[in-house]
Amino acid sequence: MGYKPDGTKQELIAAQRQLATVIDLNKCMGCQTCVVACKNLWTQREGTNHMRWMNVTTYPGHGYPRDYEQKGGGFRDGEPQPGTLTTLADCGDHFQFNHDEVLNQGRGQQAQFQPRTAAGEHPDWGYNWDEDRGGGQWPNGYRFYLPRMCYHCSNPPCVQACPNNAIYKREADGIVLIDQDRCRGHRHCVEACPYKAIYFNPATTTSEKCILCFPRVEKNLAPACNRQCPGRTRAFGYLDDPDSQVHKLVRTWRVALPLHPEYGTEPNVYYIPPWSPFAYDDEGRLTGEMRIPVELLEGLFGPAVHESLALLARERAKKVNGEPSELMDLLISRVWEDRFGGFTAAPLEPHGAGGKGAP
């Protein structure tokens, strides 16, 4: 059974299995490798340059697209919520640089290498503009990095909002796709998505978003953001596969949590909530409290974050005391490939004319 544009919305969101990603925020270092990996595969085409289907920003911060949490969409108590569109600036723009002016035009020290917005201005905002700023107060400043992407929701508001039935979940794996032939660029999906994970392509006048690297997944290879993450933050696989780390972390241990569960979209990217270093009191003594206020994490991951953090702390304490912990071993994942739920093919195919090897 494939995608049937004439189907009901219920049929368009039906999926027999669901692929899921778990991102460990204790392991994420904000290096942006996932962003680069994604961009080099999917958003170097005309009209896609401003898009970061995969993005990482510092939390607390404005996030990406800018202030997405204030732009509405999603559901509240089952009711769809109004949303607003994102602008090119919200989406981080696509800075232009003046190599030739600085290096080749004989202007010497009069020329300065610097970014310009797509509109030719000095930028006052851009992708990851508030990198590393974070929150708190010295000496208890804190930050963590929040990688985001399309959540391939089980209750995707984008599918519901599309006036053209151009958005659907793939039946076999639950990947949410926007049919580029059917999409007419109305962008109701952008408004409906509370995570603002959908971007408008002005060249094709269609909306585009993360496709969970389905051409890779079809070749048994984990998405680029997951496989290329040097921090080994990502687990990937089918949620119903009891051998997959995503199943164990989400279903068995219930330690990986959705972002903003109150949006009601049943997202399929889950997060291990972050620890932070111990805070100091006014005298400079260590308090034993973590620097990130738990209320802040509750605002992101809902009340379940308390239980998740407590479980993580208990299991780590076992390891500190020299006792075994299955959960900690799962999060360590000594064998990197174990993270990917069997999606472990080598990223070589298809072999081209020369095949692997020297020219």
Partner 1 sequence: MAINETEVLPTPGDTGLSRRRFLARSLQSGLALALCELAPGVNLGFVGEVLAGTRQLDYAGWEDLYRREWHWDRVTWGSHTNACSPGTCLFHVYTRNGLVWREEQAARTRASNPKYSDFNPLGCQKGCAFHTSLYSGERVRYPLKRVGERGEGRWQRISWDEALTAVADAILDGHQRGGTSSFVLDGPHVHAGNVASAAVFRFTALLNGILTDHNVQIGDTFVGSLITLGKMQVGYTPDNFFDARLVIMTHSNWSYTAPALYHFITEARYNGTEFVLLAPDANPTTHAVDVHVPVRVGTDAAFWLAACQVMIDEGIYDAGFVREQTDLPLLVRTDTRRYLRAAEVDGGREDQLYFFDTATGHIAPAPRATLRHGFTPALEGEYEVTLADGSRVTVTPVFAQLRRQLDARYRPEQAQELCGVHGSVIRELARKIATRRTCAYTGFSSGKHYHGDLMERSLLLALALSGNVGKPGTGITIWSFPADGISMLAGMEKPVARGGMTIGMDMAQALARDMLARDPETTEELISIEMMKLMTRQLGQVPSSFWMYYHAGYDRLWNRREWQDPAMPRSFGDYLDDAVAKGWWDGLVLPEPGKPPEVVLYMGNNPLRRVRSANVQYPQELFPKIKTLFTVETRMSSSAMYCDYVLPAAWYYEKEDMTLSMTASPYISLIQKAVEPVGEAKEEWQIFGLLLQKIAARAAERGLDGFTDRFGRPHDYASLYQRFSLDGAVHNHGDAVREMVAVKIATGIFPRDYSYERFREEGTVPLHGMGVTFQRHAVANEYDPDKPFYSLRWHTEEKVPYPTYARRMQFYIDHEWFLEVGEELPVHKDIPPIGGNYPFQITSGHPRVSINSVHLANEQLARLHRGQPVVFMNDGDAARLGIADSETVRVFNDVGGFEIMTSLQACVAPSQLIVYYWEPYQFKGWKNFDGLLVGLPKAIHFAGGYEQLRYFYMHGSPYACVDRGVRVGIAKLDAGAA
Q: Is 46 in the site for partner 1 (CB under 8 A)?
A: no
Q: Is 348 in the site for partner 1 (CB under 8 A)?
A: yes
Contacting residue, 14, 17, 31, 304, with partner 1 by CB under 8 A = 31
Q: Min. distance of Cβ 8 from partner 1 in angstroms?
A: 4
Query: How many residues does this entry show for the chain?
Result: 359
CA dihedral for 337, 342, 347, 348, sign (positive or negative): positive
Rg (CA), the chain: 22
Q: Is 288 in the site for partner 1 (CB under 8 A)?
A: no
Q: Is 220 in the site for partner 1 (CB under 8 A)?
A: no
The DSSP code for 252 is I
Q: Is 180 in the site for partner 1 (CB under 8 A)?
A: yes
Contacting residue, 77, 285, 295, 303, with partner 1 by CB under 8 A = 285
Q: Is 268 in the site for partner 1 (CB under 8 A)?
A: no
Q: Whose Cβ is closer to partner 1: residue 72's or residue 303's? A: 72
Q: Is 70 in the site for partner 1 (CB under 8 A)?
A: no
> Between residue 233 and residue 262, which ones bind partner 1 under the rule CB under 8 A?
none
Contacting residue, 69, 241, 266, 280, with partner 1 by CB under 8 A = 280
The H or E element containing residue 201 is strand 198-201
Piece of the chain touching partner 1 by CB under 8 A; list 108-116, 242-250, 262-270, 293-301: 108-116
| Token pair listed for 214 | 């389905």
Please choose, from the candidates 232, 261, 236, 231, the residue with its C-alpha nearest in 3D space to the C-alpha of residue 246: 236
Please choose, from the candidates 244, 240, 222, 245, the residue with its C-alpha nearest in 3D space to the C-alpha of residue 332: 245
> Between residue 117 and residue 146, which ones bind partner 1 under the rule CB under 8 A?
118-119, 123-124, 126-145
Piece of the chain touching partner 1 by CB under 8 A; list 32-40, 243-251, 253-261, 303-311: 32-40
Query: How far is the C-alpha of 31 from the C-alpha of 297, rounded, in Å?
Result: 22
Contacting residue, 46, 77, 181, 295, with partner 1 by CB under 8 A = 181
Q: Strand, coil or helix: what is 82?
A: coil
Query: How far is the C-alpha of 225 from the C-alpha of 21, rounded, in Å?
Result: 10
- Residue reference for tokens 């392509």: 201
Residue 274 and residue 144 in contact, taking contact as beta carbons nearer than 8 Å: yes
Q: Is 63 in the site for partner 1 (CB under 8 A)?
A: no
Q: Min. distance of Cβ 357 from partner 1 in angstroms?
A: 7
